[in-house]
Amino acid sequence: MYGIERTSPYLPLNEVEACIPDAQRVNEALVNLIQKNKKYDIEFEVHRKIDGKVILIRSVAELVFDNECPVKVLGVIHDITEQRKIEDRLKQSQKMESIGTLAGGIAHDFNNILFPITGHAELLLEDIPQDSPFRDSINQIYTSAMRAGELVKQILTFSRQDTNGLEVMKMQPIIKEALKFIRSTIPTTIEIKQNINPDCGVVKADPTKIHQIIMNLATNSYHAMEDTGGTLTVSLRKIKLGQLDLIGHDMKSGDYICLTVADTGVGMDKVLIDKIFDPFFTTKKKDKGTGMGLSVVHGIVKNMNGVIKVYSEPGQGTEFHVYLPMEKSSSEKQVTNLKMEIQGGTEHILLTDDEESILIMIKKMLERLGYKVTSYTNSIEALDSFRVAPEKFDMVITDMQMPNMTGDKFAAELIKIRPDIPILLCTGFSETMSEEKAISLGINGFLLKPMIMKDLSQKIREVLDKKK
C-alpha cells in the first residue's frame, strides 16, 4: 500500500514516514494514543515510492490492555482514495442540484417581473410613430428586457428545466460549424486542432444546446490563452465505460460519446476547479463574461443524462471532457424551421394566470391579435366558468404555477368536462413540467415565459389549427 519493497516482515519506519508528507501529525496522534489512550482515527496522504501515485489512507487503531496495562497497539489501514472521490462527486452533484433549484426559483420570480416590461414595450413600439422622440427610449427598454430574458433562459438551462428539443442526432456537423465560427472570431495566435471521429454514433440531444456547449467551452479556453496564445484542441470519440470506469455516481455502464475541449492556457488549481461550474463565478474581467457559461454547460450536459469532467493544473492547460450516452438507434430527425408572420384570430380564449400584471399583459396581446378573452387570476373560478358553458370557449391558456390548482391539474379537469378543448400551458419555471410531459397529459401546447407576441401568436395558431 505504501509502495515500499519489503525486505523483512516489518516496514522500515523511516521509509514509511518519508512517504507521508504530514508525518508529524500522524506521529503526534500515535503518541496521544499510546500515552493518553486518545482516540486514533486519522486520514493522511501517502506518496507511494514505487510508482509515485498519491493515495488517501484512513488509519484506525486502539490500545490492547492486559491487567489494565497497555501491551500493544492493534490497528487497520484502508485505502480510501476511490471512496473519497465518489463522496466528493456526490457532494458536488448535490451542491449543483441545490443551486439549480434555487436558481430556477429566482428565474421564475424574475420572469414574472420581466414579462410585463417586454410585453408593454413591444406593444408601445407597435403603437408609436417611427419618428416619435420616445421610440428610441422604448426600444432601449425592450432590448434590455430581452437581454435579461436571455439571461433567465441561461439560468433555467443551468437548473435543468429546459427539456425541449431532444432528438437523435450526429454531433460532428454541429461541432465543425461551431469551430468555423470560432476560427473567425478568435486571434490567429490561437491554433485550432480537430480530431473528430466521423463514425462514433449518435446521441439524444438538442442541436442548439450542443452548439452552445462547444461555444461556451471554446470561449472559456480562448480567454485562458488570450494573452499568451496557444492551441485549442477539440476531439470527438466513442468510448465504452465499464462499471469501474464510471466517473459520475448516476452514470450507467455502456457506450458513450466523449467530446473533449482542451487548451494550453494558464490552467487552474483545485480551488478554482471546485467553483467553475457555480453560476456567476468567473475569473474574467468585468466586461468579459457573466460567469454563466460553464454552469450553463453543466446544466445542458446533465439534462442530456451526461457528465462533464475537468482536468487542469496551474500552467499546464485545461481539458473539459463531456460524456453523453450513445443512442442505439442511428435514425436522425430533420428539423425544419419555418419563419412565420404574426397571425391573429377571432376565437374566444379562457385565460388564467395568478399574477395580475402578467394576466393583463397577455390579455392585451391576445386582444391586439383579435381574440375575445375571458380572464381569471384564480384557476378554481376559471374552472367554474368553464363548467357552466364549456362550448363557449375555443381555447384555454393557463399558467403552470398557480395556487389552489396548478396548471396541469386545471388542464386535467378541463379535459374531463370537454376532452377536445385546446389547451396551451405557459410557465416561467417548473421542476415537474416539460413540453414532453405536458403533451402526454393531453395538453396541446407548451410555451416558456416571457414570450413575445410573435411566439404567442404562432403557438396559438399551431394549437388551434391542429384541432380543426
Specify the CATH number for the domain of residue 114.
Answer: 1.10.287.130
CATH of the domain at 173: 3.30.565.10
Q: Dihedral through CA 144, CA 149, CA 155, CA 160, nearest 10?
A: -160
Q: In this structure, are 117 and 43 located in the same domain? A: no
Query: Is 4 domain-assigned?
Result: no
Q: In this structure, are 43 and 100 located in the same domain? A: no
Residues 6+ apart with CB under 8 A from 223: 265, 284, 288, 289
* Interval 440-468: pLDDT, tens: 999 999 988 778 888 899 999 999 988 76
Amino acid code (one letter) for 247: I
- Tell me which residue range forms the domain holding 62: 13-79
Closest by alpha carbon to 115, among 459, 463, 369, 455?
455
- Which of 128, 158, 188 lies at the terminal end of a domain, its last residue? 158
Q: What is the pLDDT of residue 335?
A: 34
Query: Is 17 domain-assigned?
Result: yes
Query: Is 341 domain-assigned?
Result: no
Q: What is the pLDDT of residue 163?
A: 46
- Which of 158, 176, 207 lies at the terminal end of a domain, its last residue? 158
Cα–Cα distance, 219 to 313 (Å, whole number):
19
Closest by alpha carbon to 448, among 465, 462, 435?
435
* Interval 305-318: pLDDT, tens: 888 999 999 999 99
Cα–Cα distance, 242 to 43 (Å, whole number):
29
Q: In this structure, are 192 and 141 located in the same domain? A: no
Which pairs count as long-range contacts for 11-17, CB under 8 Å and 24+ apart, including other chains?
A: 15/49
CA 401 to chain centre: 21
The angle at the Cα of 209, spanning 204 to 215, to the nearest 5 degrees, equals: 130
Cα–Cα distance, 248 to 288 (Å, whole number):
31
Query: What are 100's three cell numbers?
Result: 439549480
Query: What are 134's three cell numbers?
Result: 420616445
Q: In this structure, are 94 and 45 located in the same domain? A: no
The count of domains in the chain is 4
Ranges in the chain, pLDDT < 70: 1-16, 92-105, 153-166, 243-250, 279-292, 329-341, 429-432, 468
Is 0.75 topped by the overall pTM?
no
Residues 6+ apart with CB under 8 A from 156: 104, 107, 162, 429, 448
Is the torsion defined by CA of 236, 85, 96, 252 positive or negative?
A: positive
How many Cα atoms sit within 13 Å of 49 on the Cβ side? 14
CATH of the domain at 17: 3.30.450.20
Q: In this structure, are 133 and 231 located in the same domain? A: no
Q: In this structure, are 71 and 150 located in the same domain? A: no
Residues 6+ apart with CB under 8 A from 75: 40, 59, 60, 61, 62
| Beta pairing partners, 11 | none
Query: Is 5 domain-assigned?
Result: no
CB 372 within 8 A of CB 348: yes
Q: In this structure, are 277 and 309 located in the same domain? A: yes
Q: In this structure, are 214 and 354 located in the same domain? A: no
Integer Rg of the chain from CA: 29
Q: What is the pLDDT of residue 220?
A: 87
Residues 6+ apart with CB under 8 A from 340: 454, 458
Q: In this structure, are 287 and 369 located in the same domain? A: no
CB 3 within 8 A of CB 51: yes
Q: In this structure, are 72 and 111 located in the same domain? A: no
Query: Is 8 domain-assigned?
Result: no
Which residue do the cell numbers 439534462 mark?
303
SS (H, E, C) the chain: CCCCCCCCCCCCHHHHHHHCCCHHHHHHHHHHHHHHCCCEEEEEEEECCCCCCEEEEEEEEEEEEECCEEEEEEEEEEECHHHHHHHHHHHHHHHHHHHHHHHHHHHHHHHHHHHHHHHHHHHHHHHCCCCCCCHHHHHHHHHHHHHHHHHHHHHHHHCCCCCCCCEEECCHHHHHHHHHHHHHHCCCCEEEEEEECCCCCEEEECHHHHHHHHHHHHHHHHHHHCCCCEEEEEEEEEEEECCCCCCCCCCCCEEEEEEEEEECCCCCCHHHHCCCCCCCCCCCCCCCCCCCHHHHHHHHHHHCCCEEEEEECCCCCEEEEEEEEEECCCCCCCCCCCCCCCCCCCCEEEEECCCHHHHHHHHHHHHHCCCEEEEECCHHHHHHHHHHCHHHCCEEEEECCCCCCCHHHHHHHHHHHCCCCCEEEEECCCCCCCHHHHHHCCCCEEEECCCCHHHHHHHHHHHHHHHC
Query: What are 220's three cell numbers?
Result: 472559456
Cα–Cα distance, 427 to 447 (Å, whole number):
7
Cα–Cα distance, 227 to 233 (Å, whole number):
18
